[in-house]
């Protein structure tokens, strides 16, 4: 029986029959992996290691090899890019071993709720029925099994949810938003102008507004909007699409393109009066926690919500989750507009972390490629009087950091994955390491570990679609291929990144430590922070993570072709001359286990060699008892 009203859902009854998984003690210990369900796995692949570690055989989609790159023309590949491709929850569940072996501990799953029937919103952000899983993705029970299996493998699950808007569930009356051009001709354009538009009706399954725009308009769960309580016209602002994305109140009241804005309520953050629609959606998401035992939500388009609405939701969800023993249920907000807005929003609303704030993705990508000053990235995490924080360790669990994603708004009309340009394939491991071993909670966008290189070639191509290749192959596989999957756990980047994540898991300093960009020197005399010369930096970029009295030094080399040897400053007070640092990791495996010693230069320093386009990790050896008084 399909659910229609949230008021008819017995959440207490569901809760009484289940045991729930506690929250992680520290979210900064996690490594996220974000995927679009429709583009990840359709469950038809063969020749990969399954969740038990056995190579899965049979008949199905074989693994990709480089010979298959470009086995379909660019034109045909682009033509195949649109619409549903067939990825589903069942396929994702079968690939949890692939993620676990890499070192992933947290899944961020794209929205999986039922989409409007007449639009191929495979990405999940056009919800028509908040109480149902879209049949393209699977069933409620398959979601339950996904979470249960993930938990058994030490992986937590965060669902991507939407509060700000629904899908395109109704149409405006075109007679009431007709515009006139300078030449006297007319056109229809329901742009935000501060006024409420007339609505022609809720959209039926074919996209026509044949359903009256009123409460209890229809009980057909494939039309209009559900739960049925949302069919009250007061659930929507009905003020047309946003054109000025930074004008308040337009960006809070307007529709996100044709996705219809939900009316959340009114008032200040301290005196907010939530609307019935906001209360309904809050109960909806409590239901999904209760049913599936999920561990957190990533909340879409928080910038476009009232602060009071976000606070109401965060408070209600945190309290409900705590009744289930989920003391640190994680709420990640997509908050654009810079650090100050992001952290003000976090502290005012009670959200736990912000996603990819400021220009973290840009600086991550182009520092690894050698086109940004290291200080531009590392300064994002330094003390800030503006934020009023006493230590940059505050950032360690307040920011989810990414370098690739499914939107790439920052790149305008020439969107491209990391490996698409600037020889990114040479340094993809470096950017993964930079993301994983610096402050913040790292998140990997699916396919980055397999050199995905989707990109627009002309501005007219500029489209999110090129960032959303099918990991399972099919007609729209990555690297402009067709018919081959990419679950290759023996590829170089996958194998090396797994080693790095294993070290991160073992070393608390790499997960929770303070962070310092370090000075370098070529001659041991002249020290300074690494920086660009002209438009590039081809240098060793080292940083330290310090936790209590333990220091770990990490360095990448932005010179693609030459290994570089430099002196790297370390903490003067923690170390004495002659103390050893051991190499925990190097892209040159012969260096692993070797030692370098502390020298009295620039306070204290180490001389290290970093392979071309490579990465190294050094840890201070435990001091011998006779030296303990010196450290």
Pairing of strands 580-586, 595-597: antiparallel
Task: Please check the confidence at residue 628 and state whether its pLDDT lies above 70.
Answer: no
Question: Average pLDDT for residues 408-431, to the nearest whole number?
Answer: 92
**410 pLDDT tier (thresholds 50, 70, 90):** confident
Give yes or no for a contact between 400 and 352, defined as CB atoms under 8 angstroms apart.
no
pLDDT of residue 460: 66
pLDDT of residue 391: 52
Task: Please check the confidence at residue 593 and state whether its pLDDT lies above 90.
Answer: yes
Lowest mean pLDDT among 28-42, 183-197, 215-229, 292-306: 183-197
Question: Average pLDDT for residues 153-174, to the nearest whole number?
Answer: 97
Question: To the nearest whole number, what is the mean pLDDT of the chain?
Answer: 93
pLDDT of residue 394: 60
Beta bridge partners of 443: 32
pLDDT of residue 626: 42
pLDDT of residue 630: 38
Beta bridge partners of 608: 566
pLDDT of residue 351: 96
**Residue 162 and residue 264: Cα distance in Å, rounded?**
13
pLDDT of residue 629: 37
Give domain limits for the chain: 29-163+266-503, 164-263, 509-630
Give the CA dihedral 212, 254, 465, 422, nearest 10 degrees. Answer: 180
Q: Does domain 509-630 have CATH number 2.60.40.1180?
A: yes
Task: Please check the confidence at residue 119 and state whether its pLDDT lies above 50.
Answer: yes
**457 pLDDT tier (thresholds 50, 70, 90):** confident
Task: Please check the confidence at residue 84 and state whether its pLDDT lies above 70.
Answer: yes
pLDDT of residue 627: 45
Q: Which residue has the higher pLDDT, 347 or 554?
A: 554
Is 381 exposed, middle or buried, given 0-12, 13-18 or 19+ CB atoms closer than 10 A? buried
Question: Average pLDDT for residues 432-440, to the nearest whole number?
Answer: 97
Give yes or no for a contact between 617 and 584, defined as CB atoms under 8 angstroms apart.
yes
Stated as kind and residue range, the H or E segment containing 157 is strand 156-161
Question: Average pLDDT for residues 27-34, to the nearest whole number?
Answer: 98
Lowest mean pLDDT among 281-290, 331-340, 367-376, 428-437: 331-340
Percent of the chain at pLDDT > 70 equals 94
How are the residues of the chain apportioned to helix, strand and coil, as percentages rounded to the nearest 5?
30, 20, 45
pLDDT of residue 393: 57
Question: Average pLDDT for residues 464-483, to the nearest whole number?
Answer: 97
**479 pLDDT tier (thresholds 50, 70, 90):** very high
| Residue 536 DSSP class | B
**Residue 575 and residue 550: Cα distance in Å, rounded?**
10
3-state secondary structure of 476: helix
pLDDT of residue 342: 82
CATH of domain 29-163+266-503: 3.20.20.80
Question: Average pLDDT for residues 473-498, to the nearest whole number?
Answer: 98
Task: Report the predicted TM-score, pTM, of the whole model to 2 decimal places.
Answer: 0.95
pLDDT of residue 183: 80
Pairing of strands 296-299, 156-161: parallel
Give yes or no for a contact between 570 and 520, defined as CB atoms under 8 angstroms apart.
no
pLDDT of residue 389: 52
Beta bridge partners of 618: 553, 583
Closest C-alpha among 130, 134, 410 to residue 297: 130
pLDDT of residue 18: 96
**Residue 488 and residue 272: Cα distance in Å, rounded?**
50
**359 pLDDT tier (thresholds 50, 70, 90):** confident
pLDDT tens digits, 273-318: 999 999 999 999 999 999 999 999 999 999 999 999 999 999 999 9
């Amino acid at each position: 029986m399909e659910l229609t009203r949230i008021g008819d859902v017995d959440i207490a009854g569901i809760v009484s029959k289940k045991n729930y998984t506690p929250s992680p003690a520290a979210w900064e210990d996690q490594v996220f992996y974000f995927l679009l369900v429709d583009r990840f796995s359709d469950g038809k692949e063969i020749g990969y290691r399954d969740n038990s570690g056995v190579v899965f055989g049979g008949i199905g989609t074989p693994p990709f090899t480089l010979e298959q790159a470009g086995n379909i023309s660019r034109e045909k590949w682009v033509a195949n890019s649109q619409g549903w491709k067939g990825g589903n929850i069942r396929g994702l569940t079968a690939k949890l071993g692939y993620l676990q072996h890499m070192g992933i501990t947290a899944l961020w799953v794209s929205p999986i709720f039922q989409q409007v029937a007449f639009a191929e919103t495979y990405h999940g952000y056009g919800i028509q029925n908040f109480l149902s899983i879209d049949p393209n993705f699977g069933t409620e029970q398959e979601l339950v099994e996904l979470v249960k299996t993930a938990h058994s493998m030490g992986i937590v699950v965060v669902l991507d949810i939407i509060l700000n808007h629904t899908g395109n569930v109704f149409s405006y009356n075109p007679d009431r938003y007709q515009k006139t051009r300078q030449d006297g001709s007319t056109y229809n354009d329901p742009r935000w102008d501060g006024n409420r538009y007339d609505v022609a009706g809720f959209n039926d399954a074919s996209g026509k507004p044949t359903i009256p725009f009123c409460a209890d308009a229809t009980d057909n769960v494939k039309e209009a909007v559900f739960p049925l309580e949302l069919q009250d016209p007061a659930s929507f602002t009905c003020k047309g699409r946003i054109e000025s994305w930074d004008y308040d109140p337009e960006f809070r009241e307007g529709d996100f393109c044709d996705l219809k804005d939900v009316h959340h309520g009114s008032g200040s953050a301290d005196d907010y009066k939530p609307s019935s629609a906001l209360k309904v959606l809050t109960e909806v998401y409590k239901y999904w926690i209760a049913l599936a035992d999920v561990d957190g939500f990533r909340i879409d388009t928080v910038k476009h919500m009232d602060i009071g609405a976000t606070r109401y939701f965060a408070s209600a969800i945190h309290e409900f989750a705590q009744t289930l023993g989920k003391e640190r249920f994680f709420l990640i907000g997509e908050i654009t507009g810079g650090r100050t807005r992001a952290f003000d929003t976090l502290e005012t609303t009670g959200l736990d972390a912000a996603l990819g704030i400021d220009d973290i993705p840009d600086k991550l990508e182009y520092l690894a490629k050698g086109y940004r000053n290291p200080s531009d990235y590392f300064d994002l995490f330094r003390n800030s009087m503006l934020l009023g924080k006493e230590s940059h360790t505050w950032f360690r669990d307040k920011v989810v950091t990414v370098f690739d994603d499914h939107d790439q708004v920052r790149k305008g009309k020439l969107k491209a994955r990391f490996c698409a340009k600037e020889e990114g394939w040479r340094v993809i491991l470096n950017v993964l390491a930079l993301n994983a071993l610096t402050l913040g909670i790292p998140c990997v966008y699916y396919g980055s570990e397999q050199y995905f290189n989707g990109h627009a070639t002309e501005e007219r191509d500029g489209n999110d679609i090129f960032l959303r290749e099918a990991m399972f192959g099919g007609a729209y596989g990555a690297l402009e291929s067709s018919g081959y999957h990419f679950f290759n756990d023996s590829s170089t980047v996958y194998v090396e990144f797994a080693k790095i994540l294993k070290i991160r898991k073992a070393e608390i300093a790499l997960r929770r430590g303070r962070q310092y960009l370090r000075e370098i020197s070529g001659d041991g005399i002249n020290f300074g922070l690494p920086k660009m010369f002209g438009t590039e930096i081809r240098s060793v970029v080292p940083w330290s993570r310090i936790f209590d009295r333990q220091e770990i030094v990490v360095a990448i080399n932005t010179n693609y072709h030459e290994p570089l040897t430099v002196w790297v400053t370390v903490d003067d007070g923690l170390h004495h001359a002659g103390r050893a640092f051991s190499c925990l990791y190097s892209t040159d495996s012969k260096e692993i286990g070797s030692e370098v010693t502390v020298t009295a230069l620039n306070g204290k320093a180490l001389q290290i060699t970093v392979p071309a386009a490579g990465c190294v990790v050094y840890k201070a050896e435990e001091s011998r008892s006779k030296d303990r008084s010196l450290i």
